[in-house]
């Protein structure tokens, strides 16, 4: 296995995937069936064929990504359906992946259904974007970035891959040839409303407090702006977690299981990592044991989570029913 060079400045936070696969035990590249007439495959070169350059992967299928990363670098997008910034970032990742025409692949991981990958990539907030090069993971960035910055990150990933001999390509099974009348790309997304764009810009520069204010202004102007409501819930969570470590939060919660503030903080951490049911259970267990302002704080936070995740989500439906029973 080749060695990944020192991480460039924008490729931060290497993670350990040893809990998912033992690289020493896995076989050489087997991403596509070999051609009996072809010469032996060499890891890092050659081409493979996939149904798409954008693939959905799970805890169970991630070994395929590790194998594929011996041919091309794989970008990993850890997202969730309820995550507002994910909806902004994912189309950018997908569009750029298509533009690079098989030099890299995008692997999408649903945080709600793949806890092992969330843990392996240390995804304390989503979206979390990483790369895998020659079976080695590299942390890239957290949160939504503008397309120009994402493109710069992709270029650095490709440069790191080339330094390690990962210079293969992926072709799409049944892909249409250029000029045959096939779809030449997705339409440009509609521009965001002004306060949404201002919030998005604030999130990019890490000013979550400013983003909170922009979303609150949007809601004041239109109380039915559900995108702003969901965005406010998401960025409020990020604001509360900013500057704190997971170890610090979990240690405080473990030391004071009846402390409402400590449990609210660890519930934020659970939700940011996709452990929604854990967060719901933690707070709902506390509701019957406290009163007054503490109970109201739990109710408000749970309602915020409901907005964040979506009213139709079955976990929200069950938690909302349980909250109503505890309160009334």
DSSP-derived 3-state class of residue 75: strand
Sheet (strand 54-56) strand order: 54-56, 105-110, 74-79, 128-133, 136-142
Query: CA-to-CA distance for 319 and 277, rounded, in angstroms?
Result: 9
Residues 6+ apart with CB under 8 A from 71: 29, 31, 43, 44, 45, 46, 47, 48, 166, 168, 169, 170
| Catalytic entry in 66, 86, 287, 323 | 86
**Known catalytic residue at 83:** yes
**Known catalytic residue at 221:** no
Respond yes or no on whether the N-terminal peptide bond of residue 127 is cis (omega within 30° of 0): yes
| Catalytic entry in 83, 104, 203, 228 | 83
Q: Is the dihedral of CA 83, 85, 88, 90 positive or negative?
A: negative
Task: Return the structure tokens found at 30.
Answer: 């087997």
189 secondary structure, DSSP code: P
Which residues carry out catalysis? 83, 86
């Amino acid at each position: 296995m080749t060695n990944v060079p020192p991480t460039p400045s924008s490729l931060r936070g290497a993670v350990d995937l040893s809990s998912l696969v033992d690289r020493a035990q896995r076989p050489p590249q087997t991403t596509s069936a070999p051609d009996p007439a072809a010469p032996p495959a060499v890891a890092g070169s050659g081409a493979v064929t996939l149904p798409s350059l954008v693939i959905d992967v799970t805890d169970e299928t991630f070994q395929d990504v590790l194998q594929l990363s011996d041919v091309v670098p794989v970008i990993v997008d850890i997202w969730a359906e309820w995550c507002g910034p994910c909806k902004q970032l994912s189309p950018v990742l997908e569009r750029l992946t298509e533009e690079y025409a098989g030099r890299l692949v995008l692997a999408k991981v649903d945080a709600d259904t793949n806890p092992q990958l969330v843990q392996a990539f240390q995804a304390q907030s989503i979206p979390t974007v990483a790369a895998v090069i020659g079976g080695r993971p590299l942390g890239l960035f957290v949160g939504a970035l503008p397309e120009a910055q994402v493109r710069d990150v992709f270029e650095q990933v490709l440069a790191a891959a080339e330094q390690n001999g990962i210079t293969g390509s992926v072709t799409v099974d049944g892909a249409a040839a250029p000029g045959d009348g096939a779809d030449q790309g997705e339409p440009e997304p509609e521009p965001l409303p002004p306060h949404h764009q201002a919030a998005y810009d604030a999130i990019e520069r890490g000013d979550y407090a400013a983003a909170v204010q922009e979303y609150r202004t949007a809601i004041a102007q239109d109380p039915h702006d559900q995108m702003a409501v969901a965005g406010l819930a998401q960025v409020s969570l990020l604001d509360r977690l900013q500057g704190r470590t997971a170890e610090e939060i979990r240690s405080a919660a473990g030391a004071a299981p009846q402390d409402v503030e400590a449990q609210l903080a660890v519930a934020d951490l659970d939700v940011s990592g996709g452990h929604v049911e854990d967060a719901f259970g933690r707070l709902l267990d506390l509701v019957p044991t406290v009163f007054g302002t503490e109970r109201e704080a739990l109710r408000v936070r749970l309602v915020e989570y409901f907005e964040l995740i979506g009213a139709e989500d079955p976990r929200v439906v069950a938690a909302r029913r349980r909250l109503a029973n505890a309160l009334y």
